[in-house]
Structure 1
Amino acid sequence: MITPRFTCSQTDASVVISVYCPSIRAADVEIHVDETLVSFHVNPYFLRLNFSHPLLEDDTSSANYDPSSGYLTVTLTKETKGQEFKDLDLLTKLLAPRKTKVEPTIEVLSSQENEEEELVSKVDKLSLEQNEILEAAENDWQLPQQLPQDEPLLDASLQKYYGFLDTHSGYFNHVTHTENEINELGVDAETCSPDERRRRRIQHENEKWDEEYYMADFADDEYIQELIKYTHPHIAALEEVKYTEAENLTMMRLPRKEYLPSPIQTHCLYLTLITLLFSYAYESRTTQHDPTPESAWTICNLTPAFSALDPPNTNSLGLIRITDLNTFSLEEIAATIIPSYRRTLAFPLYRSFALAETCRKDVSGFLLKGKRTVVRCLLEMKDILDHHEVYYVYNKVWVDDFCSWTQAHASDDTLKGLGELLGRTEVDKGAIGWNLEELEAATRDILGREADSDDE
């Protein structure tokens, strides 16, 4: 039997168990509740959880299976409403067998030799299967369980999927015949695993990083300071967003799909959206919201999901350990935008940490404005890429679907919550990995010595 991955949460009246068991028949699921003990079985999965307080399987309890995500959600009623179930995140404790309440006793019925011999003969005649049943009964049917290891799934196919919800492939089969300057995977874009994409992205960023370029922009930042003072019109707008005729026409041409992401996929989509808006914010700020022929290159280069097909995911952010996928943390947001910061400091014309910080605040402003403003930003990004003869492909892979999904499925409350968190996020310069504080200190020292020489 396989012990499936699972998470537990609670409300005032119930406990919710989310079990990942893909490719099963919902009709075959067996759930049994015995006070604090809850068992779940469907081939080849078996799960037994021992809670701290009793649960009930009554009319308000439910079990729903989502075949698209592979998650079975079981809701069980608390015997005592309002009672707090502690340590629901301690999975090993939940998997521990329930202690036996009554110690086993032996009662001698007779001491006659003939009865003992008769009993022995009957036991000897038991089949192997019956013996196994007796042994299991003695052990209270408590099969050994252990947490599943986070091992990579076996994938024998060379073809790898990418893009929105990993549903796209084939767009980079003929990259040798196109001048795609931002494709960091080259001819391997169709076969690289997510881990390899991330490794190549980080390696390319390190290769492009230029200490002297950064120090020069830090020393002579007069124009960068002008860019920082700029206020984006979408953030300054006081009226509710009203789409133009051109925007409405673009939305009519968007793909009409039914998206069925799992909770983890939905969580990652919100984080990927932050990285797209960050690239858009940098491009808009550096061009004063007036796109240039270089705008498409800038947006694509600054977006890890475009240049290396490497969006935020469960492996890079450790999302598999998060019990509540509807919430976000400051640490998680910081980890999401650090790759955007790195690319801002390694590739474009203006390389300034202060400018990257301002772009982060812009994204916070977009999100706080709500869904309509976010969709407008995505539509403007789409328009820029649609006018490029090569980079329009990233609309097909990412932006078109994001425009549709944001309108139909994104939550305004979640977007505004992300905006509030992003505004409070502090990105440590040390997390960038390029000794920024030392370079800035050295630049100040050089400027100080030059000033002293001028005075002399």
Structure 2
Amino acid sequence: MITPRFSCSQTAESVIISIYCPSVRASEVEVNVDGNLFSLHINPYFLRLNFTHGLIEDDASSAQYDPSTGYLTVTLTKEIKGQEFRDLDLLAKLLAPRPTVHEPLIEVISSESTAEDPDNLVAQTQNLSLQEREIEEAAKNDWQLFQEVPPAEQPTLRVSAQYGFLDMYTGYFTNVTYTENEVNELGPEAEALTRLQRRQRRIKHEDEKWDEEYYMADFAEAEFIQELILWTHPHLSDNGTFTYTEKENATMLNLPRKEYILTRHQTYSLYLTLATVLFSYAYDARTTQHDPTSESAWTICSLISAFSALDPPPYHTESVNNSPMLEFSSDHISASFVPSYRRSLAFPLYRSFALAEKCREDVANLLLRGRRTVFRCLMETKDILDHHDVYYVYSKIWLDDLCVWTQACASDDALTRLGGLIKNASITKQSIGWELEQLEGVVEQLQAGGQRELDSDDE
């Protein structure tokens, strides 16, 4: 167990405990108050404080976690209002265990298994992990785990990667191994890898996840895929005029108030990233008929390389031109969609090149509808991620700012031009890097030969 850095302050009615626990699952916070004893557990952190006076949990108490700073702020009400809590700055005193009544010690004469120990309990105890031993010992001793004042953070020169919107974020994946983030492909090394290393990791992971037999089975069972392709998105079937709902207006009011000073290259990258986000949104909307499921957050994040591998476009080596009007390169657009296609063929439930083509067409049509429709799609995506206890992190480092930028900075003219180019873009099966045409040819030959259709259980 790790003792987190913390500080305490007070008002006339409350004690405020500020705890630094970055990159944790806020839904797993366990807080307990028993008189003057306060304890908190959130994997991998444990904190127990002994105050000089009593505290209570009531309607005025609260616990708020800010993922952008990594601080959990717990506010507890004083049992006696106006009572002064002294020595809140003496952290070692707060961490010291409260006095306990010592019971007679038991001496272990031998650790060998005997007839009186048929289950070999001694050996089982010795095999416990260090953490299990700590927990077992703490349970016997009123949860008096050993704690020491965490060292102050020293100003050291460290290599820390920047990622997210305009590379403004860092530190969000420090304790990623404890959050069960199945989308993150970089592991704890996400905080140190360069952009080139992230791209190499992404491509390698896509190749490892690619399953030829799965693709062939879905290609053979084209009937259900065809139903998904024929479906029409409701945002594309209306007349293009709408008013935002009360929920959407509330979401807009809660967006951060920011202004961005962008270079030409950053602006160009954001438009291409926006297109890849819309692709994942379109894929999930088609496969769920615009009715998100519990898997929607995973699907959306997995299909966006800027999320799963922190690797946003552009992916083409050609430089961005410096003309007065932002001009999109067809090569850049095609290269930006290749990772989206690859991921849609390697990760989710339905893996079809034709379905990926239809999702790209959806992206083009949504962009041609203009900024209002695009912004609505981003808010729907943000709502899905905000309600997930792990993947909300991608909403913080990408979607919040992308929503603000789209509403305040994106140009309807640029979105329309981008939509037209995406509609006419050509993503070939050869560019995916896998033998799609050969695999489809094998399936067609089997079906033409009168053999039964392949299914997902075929070897």
TM-score normalised according to structure 2 size: 0.63
Q: Is the 8 A contact 1:264 1:319 kept in 2?
A: no
Map of 1:449 onto structure 2: 449
Matching residue's letter, 1:341: Y
Map of 1:282 onto structure 2: 283
User: Is the helix fraction higher in 1 or 2?
Assistant: 1
Per-residue deviation, 1:448: 1.2
Give the 3-state SS of the residue equivalent to 1:257 in structure 2.
coil
CA distance in 2, matches of 1:398, 1:255: 12
Query: Cα deviation per residue 1:239-264 (whole Å; 9 max; x = unaligned)?
Result: 41311000000010001101111011
Matching residue's letter, 2:427: V
Map of 2:219 onto structure 1: 218
Per-residue deviation, 1:319: 4.5
| Identity between Structure 1 and Structure 2 (%) | 59
Map of 2:71 onto structure 1: none
Map of 2:399 onto structure 1: 399
Matching residue's letter, 2:226: Q
Give the 3-state SS of the residue equivalent to 1:189 in structure 2.
helix
Mapping 1:93-112, distance limit 5 Å = none
Per-residue deviation, 1:329: 2.2
Give the 3-state SS of the residue equivalent to 1:320 in structure 2.
coil
Mapping 1:15-30, distance limit 5 Å = none
Change (3 A) 1:283 1:452: closer
Query: Cα deviation per residue 1:47-90 (whole Å; 9 max; x = unaligned)?
Result: xxxxxxxxxxxxxxxxxxxxxxxxxxxxxxxxxxxxxxxxxxxx
Query: Cα deviation per residue 1:190-212 (whole Å; 9 max; x = unaligned)?
Result: 11100000000000000000000
CA distance in 2, matches of 1:177, 1:218: 38
Mapping 1:125-204, distance limit 5 Å = 157-204=158-205
Q: Is the 8 A contact 2:162 2:170 kept in 1?
A: yes
Which shows bigger deviation, 374-383 or 324-333?
A: 324-333
Matching residue's letter, 1:436: L
Map of 1:81 onto structure 2: none
Moved over 4 A (4+): none
CA distance in 2, matches of 1:371, 1:233: 16
Per-residue deviation, 1:399: 0.4
Map of 1:382 onto structure 2: 382
Query: Cα deviation per residue 1:17-46 (whole Å; 9 max; x = unaligned)?
Result: xxxxxxxxxxxxxxxxxxxxxxxxxxxxxx
Q: Which runs of 5+ in 1 are unaligned?
A: 1-155
CA distance in 2, matches of 1:381, 1:239: 19
Give the 3-state SS of the residue equivalent to 2:319 in structure 1.
helix
Per-residue deviation, 1:322: 3.0
Change (3 A) 1:339 1:239: closer
Per-residue deviation, 1:452: 9.9
Q: Which runs of 5+ in 2 are unaligned?
A: 1-156, 454-459
Per-residue deviation, 1:428: 0.7
Per-residue deviation, 1:318: 2.2
CA distance in 1, matches of 2:196, 2:451: 48
Matching residue's letter, 2:343: R
Mapping 1:57-456, distance limit 5 Å = 157-313=158-314, 316-320=315-319, 322-324=321-323, 326-451=326-451
Q: Is the 8 A contact 2:186 2:198 kept in 1?
A: yes
TM-score normalised according to structure 1 size: 0.64
CA distance in 2, matches of 1:401, 1:166: 11
Give the 3-state SS of the residue equivalent to 1:317 in structure 2.
coil
CA distance in 2, matches of 1:277, 1:382: 12
Q: Work out the number of aligned pairs and report it.
A: 296
Matching residue's letter, 1:192: L
Q: Is the 8 A contact 1:282 1:356 kept in 2?
A: yes
